[in-house]
Chains A and B, each alone.
Chain A
């Protein structure tokens, strides 16, 4: 039931782009994305809902493909501050319970 994220890790130079994928074996109702810096709590980035509505607050975009049961997070023109571990959380029903993926470690180099 745990969603699978890919890649597991990625290293970028400042200004480069990255895509992080989150795949589920079950039909998805909604997807959350979070970023966690070392030793800190995860910080909410974005929520994607079945039907296409998207709610977020940072200059990072995402897509939600219900047919493929997959979501992708797009980081464009990456900044040093983007470094951290990215987690997707998926809900397969209309409840508020989310199961988190395996995580993707992203490091941006100057």
Chain B
């Protein structure tokens, strides 16, 4: 596609429920990243994929968070048993192989009530 697509754009969920956030990167971009941005804060690294493998999962806050990528394309970030502190905008970005800037999606705004 022309840009990085994320869905849903907004998600309100009850505490304790599971949520799935989807990212569709730019076609041909081998690297894919997930970041979290709390209100008024900076970008917090969660995980990145090179192809379908995740060389670095160090940013995942807890074992309630997991992510996968299939077919070097779509990625899903899953948060189990959501907590109020999970409320944030979750941003996905992709880039070509090599040293290039990221293209970010518009994000998913997650609100846990």
Residues of A within 8 A of B (CB): 2, 30, 32, 34, 40-47, 49, 55, 87, 89, 95-103
Which single residue of chain A is at the shortest CB-CB distance from B49? A96
**Which of A45, A47, A49, A100 has a CB less than 8 Å from the CB of B35?**
A100
Partner of A101, one of B33, B42, B103, B105: B42
CA–CA, A46 and B38, complex, Å: 24
From B45, B91, B106, A97 is in contact (CB under 8 Å) with B45
CA distance A89 to B99 in the complex (A): 13
20 chain-A/chain-B pairs, Cβ below 8 angstroms: A30-B99, A32-B102, A34-B101, A34-B102, A41-B91, A41-B105, A41-B106, A41-B107, A42-B104, A44-B101, A46-B101, A47-B100, A55-B101, A89-B102, A96-B95, A97-B45, A97-B56, A98-B45, A98-B102, A103-B42
Contact B95 A41 (CB under 8 A): no
**Chain B residues positioned under 8 Å from A44 (CB to CB):** 101-103
Q: Which residues of B sit under 8 angstroms from A2, Cβ to Cβ?
A: 42
The dominant DSSP class at the B interface is strand
Contact A47 B42 (CB under 8 A): no
Q: Are the CB atoms of B99 and A47 closer together than 8 Å?
A: yes
Please name 15 further chain A to chain B contacts, defined as beta carbons within 8 Å, in addition to the given A96-B99, A97-B33, sorted by A numbering: A34-B102, A41-B105, A41-B106, A46-B101, A47-B99, A47-B100, A87-B42, A87-B43, A95-B56, A97-B48, A98-B45, A100-B44, A101-B42, A103-B41, A103-B42
CB-based contact A100/B42 at 8 Å: yes
Question: How many positions in chain B have a CB within 8 Å of any CB in the partner chain?
Answer: 23
Contact of B43 (CB < 8 Å), options: A42, A46, A96, A97: A42
A45–B22 Cα distance when bound, in Å, is 25
Q: Report the minimum CB–CB distance from B89 to chain A (whole Å).
A: 9
Report Cα–Cα, A45/B102, bound state, in Å.
10
Distance to closest chain A CB from B59 (angstroms):
9
